[in-house]
Amino acid sequence: MKKPVIAVDGYSSTGKSSISKLIAKELGLIHMDTGALYRAVTFYAIQNCLNDRNEIDLAKLLKNLDQIHLDFRSENGELVLYLNNENITDKIRTSDISENVSFVAKQPEIRDFLLHIQRSRAQQGGIIMDGRDIGTVVLPDADYKFFLTASADERTKRRFLEMQSLGLTTDEKSVKENLIKRDKIDSERTVAPLKKADDAILIDNTNLNKNETLALILSYITNI
């Protein structure tokens, strides 16, 4: 039987990526974290395209898009993102990137640039992709669509713990402000906003841990 294509969207820090990774393992699928693509472009912009006020120079970034080579490589059963041949996995979770990524992600040219990378992988099937517009724009014909949400306080706690575990210094107040600001920009942008697809299943995991969320999602996936 053909392996399914699964779209997982939702708010920041609802556990989309970590749960998608577990689902991939459980069902023998490939997992693609599409937020990493937007973070990678932001990482490039911060390194190469700042103006004299230390802000991202959008015109320069757009002019430099052909200098950005992104590819996902399969390593130990996982897709690892490389930017210009550098494994940037551990460098794209910083506050600096989180502060700037929604600005980068709302640019139509950037979204267009990243769309084909996402779609071309999905054509082979057997993939679970997580992001903000997977069920609505990237893979509107996905076999299963889920939309994750949780309270802002719970999401703050999760992001704060994640950053602590990565050794990144921050405080809960700034984490919460960043989550709320990002969700607002991501939901209100004109192109491919963060939105539940009409046919997506809504999962509120405020009171569910990772394994409980996993079990709930798996209970909807039937024809495997």
Task: Decide if residue 133 touches ligand DC (CB under 6 A).
Answer: yes
Q: 213 or 222: whose CB is closer to ligand DC?
A: 213
The reply on whether position 132 binds ligand DC by CB under 6 A is yes
Binding of ligand DC by 159 (CB under 6 A): no
CA distance 141 to 145: 9
Beta carbon nearer to ligand DC, 182 or 214: 182
Q: Is 12 in the site for ligand DC (CB under 6 A)?
A: yes
Beta-strand pair 5-10/127-131: parallel
Rg (CA), the chain: 17
Instruction: Select from 4, 22, 44, 102 the one that contacts ligand DC (CB under 6 A).
Output: 102
| Measured CA distances, 196 to 58, 91, 107 (Å) | 29, 29, 20
DSSP letter at 56?
B
Q: Could you give the C-alpha distances from 204 to 7, 18, 143, 207, in angstroms and in order?
A: 16, 15, 20, 8
Q: Which two tokens stand for residue 164?
A: 């602590």
Binding flags for ligand DC, 20-49, as an x/- string (CB under 6 A): --------------xx--xx----------
Among 4, 15, 131, 135, binds ligand DC (CB under 6 A): 131
Residues in touch with ligand DC (CB under 6 A) = 12, 34-35, 38-39, 101-102, 105, 131-134, 182, 186
